[in-house]
Chain A
Amino acid sequence: MTLTSITAKPAPEETQTCWSCGSMRASHFCEACGKVQPPAPVDYFTFFGLPRKLNIDVALLDRDFYELSRKLHPDLNARAGSQEQEWSLQQSSRLNDAHRVLKDPIKRTEYLLKLEGVELEEQSKSATEQARVTGQLKKQVVPPDLLEEVFELNMQLEELRAQKKMGEDDPALIEEIGRQKLELEEKHEALLEELKKYWKGWDALIDRQLARQAVSQEERKQVRDKMVDLLNRRNYIRNLVRDVSEVLGD
């Protein structure tokens, strides 16, 4: 059964005794008496008993999710003591968060990077602060040619929006934008493929670590930086695809 696979391998530091019967317990339930346990402050991977790897069997994740949902559901623990009910409520809410993040390839990658200390939200700010101090021109996190492309396409979109407001469509412009949309979608696909390549690289490092082999900070950083770069570029492409679709009305 899948649940045992989760409950049977808690991270060592999380292992405590059951509050109810005193037996050794796993993450969410007591192995011996099955009571819901207070939520442990663990990351989403650990919550599902997973190593911090990016290739995840989503079907298996879903199965574990539904299984745990049923067992943790506050309604099921309605007649339990109010403390247990409170815990199952907290565990359920954490379960939902963990599942939502881990099942989505992008959210999963962003989450892992955050665990690894990457401040995705802050990268632009810290680069600016560095530029201010050194007086050097800030290195843009996104390649200039992509910015150029994004800007131009946005100009065209604006033109098309204005035309539509006036009730006139320029078929040539629509065709041109439609062509660019296809290109963008291809680019988006290519970025995701490339990202998966680095997932593999990352997972290989984790495997080595689990096998107690040395992994240098430099190796981690290399893969991490590549993934950050891909996610940054993807943000632009995703926004463009969204805006183009909106303007073209499909």
Chain B
Amino acid sequence: MSYSDKVIDHYNNPRNVGSMDKSSNDVGTGLVGAPECGDVMKLQIRVNRDTNVIEEAKFKTFGCGSAIASSSLATEWVKGKTVDEALTIKNMDIVKELSLPPVKIHCSVLAEDAIRSAIADWKKKQETTKPVAVEAK
């Protein structure tokens, strides 16, 4: 099996590697794993609270080339999207874009999981930090 050019490109020049402050209110963090191969992927998003647009995305993945390329691509794709738009990204979109072979499909699954999980974390933070309406006496 050989990697496609796009995978190699993302692997050699991964976009948006890094991390953001996990405790920050406008940052959502997803930490997910693929038990099939023991890969682990962290993906973080910074969301504009007024527009719900993902303005920044970072990732760090420990795994094979396909897992790194999938998460790198995922950060590129979510940037500029609203959280709801980002939720429509499917693993098969990633498979097509990177021409992943069947044995590497779980890498794209991991990336989709990471997006969902980061958004869920962000949403949870928004619920808990929402200003509580003061009940009129």
A238 within 8 A of B: yes
CB neighbours (8 Å) of B35 from chain A are 123-124, 141-142, 231-233, 235-236
Say whether A106 faces chain B, with CB atoms less than 8 Å apart. no
User: Which A residues lie within 8 Å of B109 (CB)?
Assistant: 124-125, 128
**A137, B120: Cβ atoms under 8 Å?**
yes
Taking the closest CB of chain B, its distance from the CB of A95, in whole angstroms, is: 26
Does the CB pair B106–A125 fall under 8 Å? yes
> A121-137 CB contact bits vs B (8 Å, 1 = yes)?
10111001001100001
Alpha-carbon distance between A154 and B31 when the two chains are bound, in angstroms: 13
Whether A137 touches B116, Cβ cut-off 8 Å, given contacts A124-B110, A144-B31, is: yes
Q: Within the complex, what minimum Cβ distance (angstroms) separates A176 from chain B?
A: 18
Tell me, rounded to whole Å, the shortest Cβ–Cβ distance linking A232 to chain B.
4
- How far, in angstroms, from A131 to B37 measured CA to CA in the complex? 21
Determine the distance from Cα of A167 to Cα of B40 in the docked complex, in whole angstroms.
28
Closest to A138 in B: B113
* A40 beta carbon closer than 8 Å to chain B: no
Chain A residues within 8 Å of chain B by Cβ, number: 29
Q: When chains A and B are docked, how far (Å) is the Cα of A128 from the Cα of B32? A: 12
Cα A150 to Cα B112 in complex, Å, equals 20
Query: With the chains together, A140 CA to B110 CA distance in Å?
Result: 10
Q: Among B38, B60, B112, find the residue whose CB has the most chain A CB atoms closer than 10 A.
A: B38
B34 within 8 A of A: yes
Chain A residues 20-41 with CB under 8 Å of chain B are: none
- Chain B residues with Cβ under 8 A from A80's Cβ? none
In the complex, residue of chain B having the shortest beta-carbon distance to the beta carbon of A128: B109
Measured CA separation A125–B32 after assembly (Å)? 13
Contact B62 A128 (CB under 8 A): no
Q: Is the CB of B40 within 8 A of A151?
A: yes
Whether B34 and A124, one on each chain, are in contact in the complex, defined by CB atoms closer than 8 angstroms, is yes
Asked whether any CB of chain B lies closer than 8 Å to the CB of A148, the reply is yes
Shortest 10 CB-CB contacts between residues of A and residues of B: A232-B35, A239-B38, A154-B62, A235-B38, A137-B120, A142-B33, A236-B38, A147-B33, A141-B35, A150-B40
Can you list 14 residue pairs at the A/B interface with Cβ under 8 Å? A125-B91, A125-B105, A128-B112, A137-B117, A138-B117, A140-B117, A141-B33, A150-B38, A150-B62, A151-B31, A155-B60, A235-B35, A236-B33, A239-B38
